[in-house]
């Protein structure tokens, strides 16, 4: 399955990972890596069950993207999109059950990653599920509204708690959805 897979890792992703590694005194980056890996392995396992071949793995500042062939539609596509968050949720419960500060932190990160990825906003898994199950125009409208609501919530959190991370994610999601093609 991993033969002839093209790997694209952006310079921005490498720089961000290096920066986070050097400023991460609490080990959050180390706890994030197994959570993200399990999430992506969930997608890969589902794709394999659907007889798809992984063709490219792209890692950028905004996360990982898996390309595969043949393309899937409808319920099969939705299930492959949902497989990552489901694997992450199982990992979260398992990691928190194992115990130890590192595993609890990794489990909490995995749970947050799973919930975030289920939001009905493109390019998240939840947005891809929308486009798999609904007509494109309807899915695009829902994704755009959800992105703007997330942005509004992020701004409210930034103003109240002086934490800009949710607002920054909201800006990224809103920009992605308001530009020309929010279905990719």
Q: How far is CA 61 from the centre of its chain?
A: 12
* Dist CA 54 CA 73 (whole Å): 16
Q: What is the rounded average pLDDT for all residues in the chain?
A: 92
Written in H, E and C, the secondary structure of the chain is CCCCCEEEECHHHHHHHHHHHHHCCCCHHHHHHHHHHHHHHHHHHHHHHCCCEEEEEEEECCEEEEEEECCCCHHHHHHHHHHHHHHHHHHHHHHHHHCCHHHHHHHHHHHHHHHHHCCCCCCCHHHHHHHHHCCHHHHHHHHHHHHHHHHHHHHHHHHHHCCCHHHHHHHHHHHHHHCCCCCC
Model confidence at 1: pLDDT above 70: no
- pTM, to two decimals: 0.88
Q: For residue 182, is pLDDT > 80? A: no
List pLDDT tens digits, range 112-130. Answer: 999 999 999 999 999 999 9
- List, in order, residues 6 or more apart from 60 with CB less than 8 Å away: 10, 12, 13
pLDDT tens track for 71-95: 999 999 999 999 999 999 999 999 9
3 pLDDT more than 60: yes
Of all residues in the chain, what percent carry a pLDDT higher than 90? 80
pLDDT band (50, 70, 90) for residue 26: confident
* Res 19: pLDDT: 86
**Mean pLDDT calculated for residue range 134-147:** 96
Residue 113: both structure tokens together: 């990653």
| pLDDT higher than 70, residue 180 | no
Residue 37 has pLDDT above 90, yes or no: yes
């Amino acid at each position: 399955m991993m033969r002839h897979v093209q790997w694209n890792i952006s310079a921005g992703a490498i720089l961000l990972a290096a920066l986070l590694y050097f400023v991460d005194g609490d080990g959050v980056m180390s706890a994030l890596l197994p959570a993200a890996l399990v999430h992506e392995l969930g997608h890969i396992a589902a794709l394999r069950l659907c007889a798809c071949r992984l063709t490219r793995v792209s890692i950028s500042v905004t996360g990982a993207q898996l390309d595969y062939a043949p393309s899937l539609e409808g319920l099969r596509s939705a299930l492959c999109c949902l497989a990552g968050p489901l694997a992450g949720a199982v990992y979260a419960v398992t990691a928190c059950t194992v115990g130890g500060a590192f595993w609890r932190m990794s489990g909490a990160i995995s749970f947050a990653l799973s919930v975030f990825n289920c939001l009905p906003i493109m390019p998240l898994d939840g947005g891809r599920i929308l486009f798999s199950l609904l007509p494109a125009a309807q899915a695009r409208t829902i994704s755009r509204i959800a992105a703007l609501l997330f942005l509004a919530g992020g701004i409210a959190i930034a103003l109240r708690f002086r934490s800009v991370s949710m607002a920054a994610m909201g800006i990224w999601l809103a920009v992605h959805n308001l530009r020309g093609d929010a279905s990719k």
